[in-house]
């Protein structure tokens, strides 16, 4: 069987300036008569983003409760505390306002409100038993795409790497993407979230293709297909041509970035990502550096590694990002873009020691939901080669690698 396609999304998406004004009416379409829980972080709760979101909700008749409990990396204990704080409020719906941590926290609180059991019961894929409390996601960064994806990531001290809960039940019911709410985001946040969004698009486009329903059934991330290809390729062009200006807070670029991130989220929320994301997990755990920083650093090296087997798709990437129709030039262009917005040039610059690379390679290969999605087979030796090139900051080291 050939040419099968899958696309997953929530019920409603609004994308464009001023969309937050529709938050209240859209939120009323989901859940029952209980209060609406605005899930965000302490800064956004009091910033103009929080005020606009709360005003739209109250204007539409919602009783608004605020849970400003999101923190970076989402430690398990903080997620569990947020669930317990939300439980007596009995919200009918959650509004997630913020970046990836805020939206992921809302997903996890919605999960905890709907289903009993410790969080580790749900670690992995397709272990959420049914629908959760509805989530309406309102992103304030152009990056994570969490407003349309089926995954939430947290930190558990009992597990060496970050852990993910992946289930189609976690896809937010609605996404309200207003670029006005991204204005003023810190440069580093904008840069790392933006380059991560580019990785979402490129890795979704290059993901493996599964052409039998038996290979798709039961998977959260099913691989690339013609629907995700269109979304990913358009996203890559929007993001790559907008990121530097968006980091400088140029309004039109902010709007293009948010649309690009949204499209990339739809693409990888179905297709999945690959080796750049798998390799970042041990790098991020060892260096305590932001997810997007590590992914953005590693992405060009994974692109160069994949060029021999995904060259046609990477040629398309090169064309839309402005590098020309050449897979290797596409990787070089993405590297220059990452450096231009402040991504470090090598793993050595992140504080990684050469002696750590072997263990990192072994750990990354163990993340099979990502590694198995990469178009070129990545064993421990291949992962070590990619990490070695990234440690040196030298793309050309991968040109001599054997198939």
pLDDT, mean of residues 177-201:
97
Mean model confidence pLDDT for the chain: 96
Tell me: pLDDT of 1 over 70.
no
Third-level CATH fold of 12-182:
Rossmann fold (3.40.50)
Q: Do 128 and 108 touch, CB atoms closer than 8 A?
A: no
What was the pLDDT predicted at 143?
A: 83
Tell me: pLDDT of 358 over 80.
yes
Measured CA to CA, the distance from residue 69 to residue 45 in angstroms comes to 10
Tokens, residue 291: 């997810």
- Residues present in the chain in total: 403
Third-level CATH fold of 187-398:
Dehydroquinate synthase-like, alpha domain (1.20.1090)
CA atoms within 13 A on the CB side of 95: 34
CA-closest candidate to residue 82, choices 152, 12, 18: 152
Residue with tokens 């605020």: 66
Distance of CA 152 to the CA centre of its chain: 9
- Give the number of other Cβ atoms within 10 Å of residue 249's Cβ: 14
pLDDT, mean of residues 183-191:
96
Tell me: pLDDT of 42 over 60.
yes
Measured CA to CA, the distance from residue 109 to residue 81 in angstroms comes to 9
What was the pLDDT predicted at 270?
A: 97
What was the pLDDT predicted at 400?
A: 55
pLDDT, one tens digit per residue, over 75-100 is 999 999 999 999 999 999 999 999 99
How would residue 2 be classed by pLDDT, with cut points 50, 70 and 90?
low
Tokens, residue 292: 């997007």
DSSP state of 155: B
Note the pTM of the prediction, 2 decimals: 0.96
Whole-Å CA distances, 291 to 78, 83, 299:
19, 24, 12
Tell me: pLDDT of 259 over 50.
yes
pLDDT, mean of residues 119-139:
97
What was the pLDDT predicted at 130?
A: 97
Phi, psi of 294 (to 5 degrees): -65, -45
* Cα first-last separation, the chain: 28
Q: Do 236 and 230 touch, CB atoms closer than 8 A?
A: no
What was the pLDDT predicted at 403?
A: 38
pLDDT, one tens digit per residue, over 304-338 is 999 999 999 999 999 999 999 999 999 999 999 99
Measured CA to CA, the distance from residue 76 to residue 221 in angstroms comes to 24
Tokens, residue 8: 């997953």
What was the pLDDT predicted at 296?
A: 98
Element of type H or E holding 93:
strand 93-98
- Give the number of other Cβ atoms within 10 Å of residue 304's Cβ: 25
Name the H helices within 181-225: 187-206, 213-216
Residue with tokens 């590098």: 323
pLDDT, mean of residues 287-312:
96
Tokens, residue 324: 């020309």
Helix, strand, coil proportions of the chain in percent (round to 5)?
55, 10, 35
Contacting residues for 68 by C-beta, under 8 A, at least 6 apart: 40, 41, 42, 44, 45
Measured CA to CA, the distance from residue 66 to residue 101 in angstroms comes to 16
- Give the number of other Cβ atoms within 10 Å of residue 75's Cβ: 14
Q: Do 262 and 15 touch, CB atoms closer than 8 A?
A: yes
For the chain, the structural domain boundaries read: 12-182, 187-398
Q: Do 277 and 370 touch, CB atoms closer than 8 A?
A: yes
Measured CA to CA, the distance from residue 285 to residue 289 in angstroms comes to 8
Phi, psi of 186 (to 5 degrees): -55, 150
Tell me: pLDDT of 148 over 90.
yes
Give the CA angle between residues 147, 151, 153 to the nearest 5°: 105
CA-closest candidate to residue 39, choices 90, 87, 107, 92: 107
């Amino acid at each position: 069987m050939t040419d099968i396609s899958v696309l997953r999304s929530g019920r409603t998406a609004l994308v464009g300036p001023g969309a937050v004004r529709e938050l209240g009416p859209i939120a009323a379409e989901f859940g029952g008569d209980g209060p609406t829980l605005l899930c965000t972080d302490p800064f956004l709760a009091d910033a103009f983003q929080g005020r606009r979101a709360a005003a739209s909700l109250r204007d539409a008749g919602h009783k608004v409760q605020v849970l400003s409990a999101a923190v970076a990396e989402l430690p398990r204990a903080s997620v569990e505390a947020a669930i317990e704080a939300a439980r007596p409020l009995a919200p009918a719906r959650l509004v997630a306002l913020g970046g990836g941590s805020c939206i992921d926290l809302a997903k996890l609180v919605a999960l905890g409100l709907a289903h009993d059991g410790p969080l580790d019961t749900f670690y992995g894929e397709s272990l959420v038993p049914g629908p959760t409390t509805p989530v309406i996601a309102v992103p304030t960064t152009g990056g994570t795409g969490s407003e349309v994806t089926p995954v939430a990531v947290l930190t558990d001290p009992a597990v060496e790497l970050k852990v993910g809960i992946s289930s189609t039940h976690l896809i937010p019911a609605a996404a309200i993407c207003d670029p006005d709410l991204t204005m003023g985001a810190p440069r580093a946040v904008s840069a790392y979230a933006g380059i991560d969004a580019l990785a979402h698009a490129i890795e979704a486009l290059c993901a493996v293709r599964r052409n039998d329903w038996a290979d798709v059934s039961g998977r959260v991330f099913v691989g690339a297909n013609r629907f995700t290809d269109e979304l990913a390729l358009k996203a890559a062009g929007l993001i790559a041509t907008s990121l530097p200006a968006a980091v400088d807070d140029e309004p039109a670029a902010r709007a293009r970035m948010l649309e690009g991130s949204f499209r990339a989220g739809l693409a990888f929320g179905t297709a999945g990502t690959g080796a750049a994301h798998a390799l970042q997990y041990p790098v991020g755990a060892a260096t305590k550096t932001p997810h997007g920083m590590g992914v953005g650093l590693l992405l060009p090296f994974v692109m160069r590694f994949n060029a021999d087997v995904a060259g046609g798709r990477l040629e398309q990437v090169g064309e839309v990002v402005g590098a020309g129709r050449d897979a290797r030039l596409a990787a070089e262009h993405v590297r220059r873009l990452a450096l231009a917005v402040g991504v470090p040039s090598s793993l050595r610059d992140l504080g990684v020691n050469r002696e750590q690379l072997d263990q990192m390679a072994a750990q990354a290969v163990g993340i099979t939901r990502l590694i198995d999605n990469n178009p070129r087979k990545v064993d421990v030796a291949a992962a070590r080669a990619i990490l070695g090139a990234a440690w040196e900051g030298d793309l050309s080291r991968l040109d001599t690698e054997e198939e």
